[in-house]
Amino acid sequence: MIDSKKFAAAALTSGALIAAIGLAAPAAQADISGVDVAPGLSFGSSGSYGTGCSYKVTASAPPDDALIFVDETANDRTTQTLNPHYLATDVDGKATVTWTPAVKGAHRIWVIENHPGATPVTASVTVGTGIQLGPACLVLP
C-alpha cells in the first residue's frame, strides 16, 4: 500500500525541483544568426536607402523556421512595408522579403521566430527621400 503522506511529499519535492530548474535555465536564445538589408542599386548623397524604393531583407535561421518581419520607426511599428512579412526559411536557412520604406528617418527591421520566448534580431538603417529610376533609386536628404 502507498503511504499518501510520503507520496504527496515526493510529488511536492519533484514539482519544486522542476520549477527551480526551469527558473535557473538560461533565457531562450534566438536561432536567427543574422539580418541583412541589401542596398540594391541605390545611390545619392543621403545614403543607401530611399522612401518608395524596394530592398531585399534576408534573415538567416535554421531551415523551415517561421519568421516574422517588422519595420520600426520613431513613431510606428508596421508589417505593411514588408512583403511578405511572415515567411519560413528555405532549405538553406534563408528567408528573403521585400522592404519598401514609406517614411524618412531611422528604421529598425525586426526579425523574430514565431514561437514563445523568441528573441528578436534587428538591423538598423537610415532612410532618405527616394526617387525611383527604373531598377535604381536616387536617394536625397
Q: What percent of the chain has pLDDT over 70?
A: 78
Give me the CATH number covering residue 69.
Answer: 2.60.40.10
pLDDT tens-place string over residues 71-97: 999 999 999 999 999 999 999 999 999
Compute the C-alpha angle 73/77/79, nearest 5°.
115
Q: Is the pLDDT of residue 126 over 70?
A: yes
In a domain, 12, yes or no: no
pLDDT, greater one: 16 or 117: 117
In a domain, 47, yes or no: yes
In a domain, 13, yes or no: no
In a domain, 15, yes or no: no
59: domain range? 30-140
| pLDDT band per the 50, 70, 90 thresholds, residue 10 | very low
Helix (H, G, I), strand (E, B) or coil at 53: coil
pTM, entire model: 0.77
H/E stretch holding 82 reads strand 82-83
* 59/75 Cα distance (integer angstroms): 24
In a domain, 53, yes or no: yes
Contact assessment for residue 89 and residue 59, using Cβ atoms and an 8 Å cutoff: yes
CB neighbour class for 27 (10 Å; exposed up to 12, middle 13-18, buried from 19): exposed
* 51/124 Cα distance (integer angstroms): 15
Domain tally for the chain? 1
H/E stretch holding 24 reads helix 4-24
